[in-house]
Amino acid sequence: MAEKSPQELIQIDLTPPPRKWMNPAVDFEARRGTWSYPGGVKSLDYLGMPNVREWSPTDADWKLPENWQQIIHDGFKDLLKKYRTLEIFMDICVRCGACADKCHFFIGSGDPKNMPVLRAELLRSIYRKDFTATGKILGSLAGARELTEEVLKEWYYYFFQCTECRRCSVYCPYGIDTAEITMMARELMNLVGLNINWIMEPVANCKRTGNHLGIQPHTYKDNVEFMCDELEDVTGIKLDPPINRKGAEILFVIPSADYFADPGTYTFVGYLMLFEHIGLDYTLSSYASDGGNFGLFNTAENMKKLNWKIYHEAKRLGVKWILGGECGHMWRVMHQYMDTMNGPADFLEVPRSPITGTVFENTTSTKMTHICEFTSDLIKHNKLKLDKSRNDQFRVTFHDSCNPARAMGFLEEPRYVIENVCNHFYEMPENTIREHTFCCAGGAGLGNDENMEMRMRGGLPRGNAVRWVRDHHGVNRLTCICAIDRATLPPLVEYWSPGVDVSGIHELVGNALIMEGEKERTTDIRGVPVQPEKGEQDDV
């Protein structure tokens, strides 16, 4: 946990200092708690990344390759040729400042270089110097800077202080997307060996074992069996989910955190209960054991490689289509990147719910459907036996995860499911939900412990909104459809809004499902005793 108390941390002055921003110096020693450790040698070697070495951001010498400036320059040139986004976003920003106070890291830190416009200017200033006539001629008058080692260090600090949540791009009159700019900057930094371990280790793990956490197939099986045993204590029903089963109709892909740690595990058993309830013909895979993809936060090449296994496994198992669990950045990749990178999935069939017969017309090419689309269709067709009152002890709110909200337009499906499995649902203030949603401040690889102060700072807007519904409506359950959220929101709410638990939506589904042959439920699926409704609770 951050060493500063919430009261100390919220003393934020959003007024920038008088000095010019172009001075790049960052004092890493003084700013411990706000940056992430570099990629470990073992992971980088395994992945064949350039310039592998032991180093720390607090070192004076970052042990860059001798010709690092040339490498960055050439890399930049290459990216400009590959991405229209980069060219356009470098050229057209007018610095109107509409984005400035939309970033959770700026709101929580007051550090002006966390204004999205300035984050982009860190890169743009080099672009001007190297690639534009005005920058070459007018220099700093046109906002151009020389690429020095100090600038590179500043990049490392600020481009690993962006969670690629895209909130700023909602407000930008030209749709300039800082996530895209951050991705480009990270591509460039990777060329000279600047990356963070919280990204590189998961990427290396994911390549080797199929999942970010490095869970090997035997442990995978053990974990699943363990969760099913726990669930049996609650429901009296023993589930035996199929793993790597050929010929199943559906391959179910989830983020690995769902079978690794609480509270994701409760979401996981929620999925399994649902599938048992409707008798779904599906399989899990211990090879395609992570839909999440930290390659998205690293390089386009690694993203493609990690994603490649999904269709590969679907083909091997001979399934008809793919269903995906609750995960934010995984769905950014599945929705906006997978088909382009690793398609076409012409060996699969258009997803069709075997229970309701609904053809998912919005997934005809990718052949991958979101669990919330699947479940809301089941509910709509009355195919689930649900007892909403089993969630009566929860006063629920919903955190829109950045990627489903701003990269998919996925807003109503999760709400529909929530409203059908619980009686008390309250929205957070409108400027903090849906397309305006605030990040958990731990996405894009920043959800590590050494970065905790920055996470709490960036978590202020979300934490404050949760506090508001807690205080006004007695909310005690923050739901989300993202595995990173389920890992990073618990410390965030403990810090900013204590007394609220975090869960996925399918945990609530699991609670509400009336399973055939179940025993009387005395606890929820966490094993927490269900409290009988105390008298009338007035809905505030």
| Residue ranges in 101-140 that form contacts with another protein under rule CB under 8 A | 101-102, 107, 112, 115, 117-118, 121, 132-134, 138
Using CB under 8 A, pick the residue from 52, 55, 69, 85 that binds another protein.
Answer: 85
Q: How far is the CB of 193 from another protein (least distance, A)?
A: 21
Measured between alpha carbons, how far is 133 from 135 in angstroms, rounded to an integer? 5
305 binds another protein (CB under 8 A): yes
446 φ, ψ to 5°? -100, 5
Q: How far is the CB of 385 from another protein (least distance, A)?
A: 21
Contacts of 368 (CB under 8 A, 6+ apart): 253, 310, 321, 322, 323, 324, 334, 338, 345, 351
Q: How far is the CB of 31 from another protein (least distance, A)?
A: 20
Measured between alpha carbons, how far is 516 from 510 in angstroms, rounded to an integer? 13
Measured between alpha carbons, how far is 62 from 65 in angstroms, rounded to an integer? 9
Q: How far is the CB of 511 from another protein (least distance, A)?
A: 24
92 binds another protein (CB under 8 A): yes
Q: How far is the CB of 105 from another protein (least distance, A)?
A: 12
Half-sphere exposure of 323 (CA within 13 A, CB side): 22
Nearest partner of 457 among 438, 477, 476, judged by Cα = 438
Contacts of 250 (CB under 8 A, 6+ apart): 280, 281, 282, 283, 319, 320, 321, 322, 323
Which among 10-18, 48-56, 498-506, 516-524 is the span making contact with another protein, rule CB under 8 A?
10-18
Identify the bridge partners of residue 253 per DSSP, sorted by sequence position. Answer: 324
Strands (E), 155-286: 250-253, 282-283
94 binds another protein (CB under 8 A): yes
What type of residue sits at position 349?
E
In the region spanning residues 145 to 174, those forming contacts with another protein, defined by CB under 8 A, are: 166, 169-174
In the region spanning residues 430 to 459, those forming contacts with another protein, defined by CB under 8 A, are: 431-432, 435-436
Q: How far is the CB of 25 from another protein (least distance, A)?
A: 17
Using CB under 8 A, pick the residue from 41, 237, 243, 355 that binds another protein.
Answer: 243
241 binds another protein (CB under 8 A): no
In the region spanning residues 375 to 414, those forming contacts with another protein, defined by CB under 8 A, are: 376-377, 380, 405-413
In the region spanning residues 312 to 331, those forming contacts with another protein, defined by CB under 8 A, are: 312-313, 316
Q: How far is the CB of 250 from another protein (least distance, A)?
A: 16
186 binds another protein (CB under 8 A): no
In the region spanning residues 192 to 221, those forming contacts with another protein, defined by CB under 8 A, are: 207-210, 216-218, 221
Tokens read off for 373: 């689309």
Nearest partner of 405 among 80, 179, 110, 115, judged by Cα = 179
Measured between alpha carbons, how far is 507 from 525 in angstroms, rounded to an integer? 7
Measured between alpha carbons, how far is 347 from 400 in angstroms, rounded to an integer? 33
In the region spanning residues 481 to 540, those forming contacts with another protein, defined by CB under 8 A, are: none
